[in-house]
């Protein structure tokens, strides 16, 4: 399945208002079509819009109409701006209740057969499409501390143009999220407007109280693939444990340059989502590897788990079995597809003189090699003590740090042989 994604369209800032509604509609739809054309999408299967389309439902519908003509399926959630009442006319129309905008929009969307609106108050929050389970909600943040509340009231336009307090929306969103979390079958894809993880934007403003308006705190991440908006970051992906979080905001004019609609490909195997583009090309390899493992362990029950690796080896994915065997799929700098098989990861790691035991995770082993490349003074002995001195709370934040500060194209040793692959740091993915 091909999933295209974008967020924070903010159409009102890109298309000037025209009192002639026919002309205004034409200008809006022309803008949408130009965005699609500029994106040069060869496949238009599923489109995800992670909120903030327009301040007016009428314009939102125009946008959705155009997208629905070109994509097989469209999923979207409300952003905070999609609740705004920015005029006296709107205040009167919606009886000074921002939530009634969402109610009206949920009714208007019903005229578009291939568009699904995820909203905690007025619509369903999950749908299975072509075997892939999509779910979503705005996931409104909740300012909790005195500093966060002060920031919300003093700096956020939400406090002026959304008539209800954020507690209302946060409560509805959290109930939906907890309901999804309690279900036996979790979603493959989760769409929110507010990010559920800490992003680079958050780290720049850790001490000003803004995070209470820009991140929704959740206890557990429920989907392997997540799309979000709100923070206006362009074309980034964050990896947290076994989940990926994509943001691709159009934002405001002159804020993010050359934004286009981005895409990933996913493959649904045995009822579980498998990330992402390379595995589509390697479906036969996965089946072949399953057969090898069944023969090796003399069992018909082999569970393969797909884990995305750290991103320094081009575009790489790892398929892993319960027994600790795995193979990697990766693409080198010339676009050549490769595969490597590894059996018994503990033994393989020891060949690199890494001090490991049965509790050492796969990510830790691969991270150690990255650190060795980035820091020649690093030794593998007592490596956990070394990690603790870096003050990272988990291995993923360490991986992100090392990748961010490492050089962009550098030779390294992989599987005992010198290779020269390119990789991209987080901000440039």
Task: Say yes or no to pLDDT of 57 above 60.
Answer: yes
What's the pLDDT at 375? 54
Instruction: Give the span between the Cα atoms of 285 and 154, in whole angstroms.
Output: 56
The fraction of the chain above a pLDDT of 70, given in percent, is 61
| pLDDT tens by residue, 119-135 | 999 988 999 998 889 99
> What domains, with CATH codes, occur in the chain?
2-266 (3.60.21), 278-428 (no CATH)
Instruction: Give the span between the Cα atoms of 279 and 281, in whole angstroms.
Output: 5
Residue-level length of the chain: 429
The fraction of the chain above a pLDDT of 90, given in percent, is 46
CA 49, 7, 14, 19 torsion-angle sign? positive
- Give residue 108's pLDDT band: very low, low, confident or very high (50, 70, 90): very high
Q: Which residues contact 178 (CB under 8 A, 6 or more apart)?
A: none
What's the pLDDT at 408? 29
| Cis peptide upstream of residue 198 (ω within 30 degrees of 0) | no
DSSP symbol at 110: G
Predicted TM-score (pTM) above 0.75: no
- Give residue 356's pLDDT band: very low, low, confident or very high (50, 70, 90): very low
Closest CA to 330 of 365, 360, 366, 381: 366
Tokens of 115: 């568009």
| pLDDT tens by residue, 148-175 | 999 999 989 999 999 999 999 999 999 9
Instruction: Give the span between the Cα atoms of 383 and 380, in whole angstroms.
Output: 5
Tokens of 67: 């997208």
What's the pLDDT at 198? 86
When the pLDDT of each residue in the chain is averaged and rounded to a whole number, the result is: 77
User: How wide is the angle at C-alpha 263 spanned by C-alphas 190 and 102, nearest 5°?
Assistant: 45
Instruction: Give the span between the Cα atoms of 406 and 386, in whole angstroms.
Output: 18
Closest CA to 177 of 229, 125, 225: 125
| pLDDT tens by residue, 172-218 | 999 999 999 888 778 989 999 999 998 877 666 666 788 889 899 99
Greatest extent of the chain over all pairs of C-alpha atoms, in Å: 73
Task: Say yes or no to pLDDT of 348 above 50.
Answer: no
């Amino acid at each position: 399945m091909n999933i295209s994604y974008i967020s924070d369209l903010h159409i009102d800032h890109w298309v000037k208002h025209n009192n002639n509604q026919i002309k205004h509609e034409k200008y809006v739809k022309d803008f949408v079509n130009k965005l699609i054309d500029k994106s040069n999408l060869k496949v238009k299967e599923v489109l995800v819009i992670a909120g903030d389309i327009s301040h007016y439902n009428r314009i939102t519908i125009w946008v959705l109409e155009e997208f629905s003509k070109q994509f097989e399926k469209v999923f979207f959630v409300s952003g905070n701006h999609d609740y705004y009442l920015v005029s006296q006319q709107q205040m009167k129309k919606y009886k000074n209740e921002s939530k009634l905008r969402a109610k009206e929009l949920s009714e208007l969307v019903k005229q578009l057969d291939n568009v699904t609106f995820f909203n905690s108050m007025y619509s369903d929050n999950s749908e299975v499409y072509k075997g892939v389970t999509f779910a979503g909600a705005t996931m409104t943040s909740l300012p909790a501390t005195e500093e966060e509340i002060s920031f919300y009231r003093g700096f956020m336009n939400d406090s002026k143009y959304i008539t209800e307090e954020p507690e209302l929306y946060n409560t509805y969103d959290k109930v939906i999220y907890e309901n999804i979390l309690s279900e036996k079958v979790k979603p493959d894809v989760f769409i929110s407007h507010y990010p559920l993880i800490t992003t680079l934007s958050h780290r720049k403003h850790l001490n000003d109280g803004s995070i209470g308006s820009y991140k929704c705190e959740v206890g557990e991440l429920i989907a392997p693939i997540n799309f979000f908006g709100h923070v206006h970051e362009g074309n980034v992906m964050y990896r947290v444990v076994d989940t990926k979080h994509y943001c691709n905001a159009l934002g405001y004019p002159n804020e993010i340059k050359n934004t286009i609609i981005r895409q990933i490909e996913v493959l649904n195997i045995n009822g579980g989502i498998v990330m992402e583009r390379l595995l589509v090309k390697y479906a036969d390899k996965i089946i072949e590897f399953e057969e090898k493992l069944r023969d090796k362990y003399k069992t018909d029950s082999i569970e393969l788990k797909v884990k995305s690796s750290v991103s320094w080896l081009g575009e790489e994915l790892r398929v892993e079995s319960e027994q600790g065997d795995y193979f990697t799929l990766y693409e080198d700098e010339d676009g050549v597809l490769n595969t490597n098989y590894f059996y018994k990861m503990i033994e393989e790691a020891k060949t690199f003189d890494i001090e490991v035991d049965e509790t050492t995770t796969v990510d830790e082993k691969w991270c150690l090699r990255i650190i060795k490349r980035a820091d020649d003074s690093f030794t593998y002995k007592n490596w956990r003590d070394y990690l603790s001195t870096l003050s990272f709370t988990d291995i993923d934040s360490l991986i992100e740090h090392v990748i961010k500060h490492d050089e962009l194209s550098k030779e390294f040793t992989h599987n005992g042989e010198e290779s020269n692959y390119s990789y991209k740091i987080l901000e440039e993915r």
